[in-house]
Amino acid sequence: MSHNEKTLKSEYFFKGYVIKLRKDNVLLENNTEATREVVEHPGGVAVLPLTDDNEVIFVKQFRYPYMKEILELPAGKLDGKGEDPFLCGKRELKEEVGATSDNYTPLGMLYPSPGFCDEIIHLYLAQDLSYGSQNLDEDEFLDVIKIPFDKAYEMVINNEIEDAKTQIAILKAKHILEK
Amino acid sequence: MSHNEKTLKSEYFFKGYVIKLRKDNVLLENNTEATREVVEHPGGVAVLPLTDDNEVIFVKQFRYPYMKEILELPAGKLDGKGEDPFLCGKRELKEEVGATSDNYTPLGMLYPSPGFCDEIIHLYLAQDLSYGSQNLDEDEFLDVIKIPFDKAYEMVINNEIEDAKTQIAILKAKHILEK
């Protein structure tokens, strides 16, 4: 059986720099009406940079919604829905870590919170890295931290890494790297 | 080095049934000001129900932000930030799938989108299942689908399962079940 919901009406409550929020009236499959709260996000990319010494390059930064620092892979949001995720990933790796690569492997994508948000995050593994200088935005503060891959994998298993995209990229990379 | 941002001002633009949205003015560590868009969510739970025949019980439902059906683990949001995630997980497993379990294993948690949202999703593996009747909300439409664990794992690796919590729970369960 196939399920469906039809949009009856859309109203925007917020249009910001990162996200937009709208509330829609929808028609359910039993012909009753309901409301749906939707956060629109342009989508994002995360890159798992793996050094020749088998270390993962993380960034540690303050995440305001949680009011604490967390460990994540280098990542960023697309410049609008039209940007090629792969080009965005290359840019963010250069900006945040100062690294470039000619050896990328796609690690799929994820829907972070499909109940209310339309964001799609694309994942890549980057190997054979070359290093230059970071190029952070003016209001971007982060530390670059290298952790051996096996240790990073154990940190995911032991729930020491909270970020969803970082967990998925490391768990999937483990599968690929072991083959 | 430790990074930090201080709240100067908060303004709510939306307070809905599922989420709230506010825009804050913050003071950065270089003493400049910036804005932060924050979606507040009560948090959620997902349960990986594993049958005695080593099948994962999924739910397939229409997700309005993506305008399509996707495959997910049974899941739900907390009744406010105070609800015990484990009790919420047991309730959602019963409501969506009709199953109960006395054998739960925690699979950690995830931050779905730490750039703008404060949601935390807790994960559990449920084994030794007993079966009763579903108890869906009036406006909840979903199909229950069983898939062998090894096939479900392959689907994650092959990017056929988009949902972040579902990917992480299956990848972490693989690690635990293989031990």
Of B24, B62, B108, the CB nearest to A4: B62
Query: For B111, which DSSP code?
Result: B
Interface of B with A in 70-89 (CB under 8 A): 70, 72, 77
| Cβ proximity of A11 and A22 under 8 Å | yes
Contact across the interface for B168 and A165, Cβ inside 8 Å = no
Dihedral angle sign, alpha carbons of residues B57, B59, B60, B65: negative
| Structural class in CATH, domain A44-178 | alpha beta
At residue A177, the pLDDT reads 93
| Cβ proximity of B74 and B49 under 8 Å | yes
At residue B84, the 3 state secondary structure works out as coil
At residue A80, the pLDDT reads 75
Nearest to A43 by CA among A144, A96, A98, A112: A112
State chain B's mean pLDDT as an integer: 95
| Cβ proximity of A170 and A153 under 8 Å | yes
Contact across the interface for B157 and A139, Cβ inside 8 Å = no
Global ipTM: 0.97
Of B62, B113, B159, the CB nearest to A109: B159
- The tokens for B83 are 């609800």
pLDDT in tens, B31-68: 999 999 999 999 999 999 999 999 999 999 999 999 99
At residue A99, the pLDDT reads 96
Give the residue, B110 or A132, on which the prediction is more confident: B110
pLDDT in tens, B121-179: 999 999 999 998 888 887 789 999 999 999 999 999 999 999 999 999 999 999 999 87
For the cut 80, the answer to whether the pLDDT of residue B1 exceeds it is no
Whole-prediction pTM: 0.97
At residue B17, the pLDDT reads 95
At residue B72, the pLDDT reads 98
What single letter denotes the amino acid at residue B176?
Answer: I
Q: How many residues does chain B have?
A: 179
Contact across the interface for B164 and A3, Cβ inside 8 Å = no
Segments making up each domain of chain A, as ranges: 6-40, 44-178
Nearest to A36 by CA among B75, B162, B16: B16
Q: How confident is the model at residue B80 (pLDDT cuts 50, 70, 90)?
A: confident
Superfamily of domain B44-112+120-178 in CATH is Nucleoside Triphosphate Pyrophosphohydrolase (3.90.79.10)
At residue B2, the pLDDT reads 84
Interface of A with B in 114-173 (CB under 8 A): 114-121, 138-139, 141-143, 156-157, 159, 162-165, 167-168, 171-172
Distances (CA, A) of A164 to A167, B54, B101: 5, 25, 26
Task: Give the pLDDT of chain A (179 residues) as one tens digit per residue.
Answer: 689 999 999 999 999 999 999 999 999 999 999 999 999 999 999 999 999 999 999 999 999 999 999 999 999 999 977 899 999 999 999 999 999 999 999 999 999 999 999 999 999 999 999 998 888 887 789 999 999 999 999 999 999 999 999 999 999 999 999 87
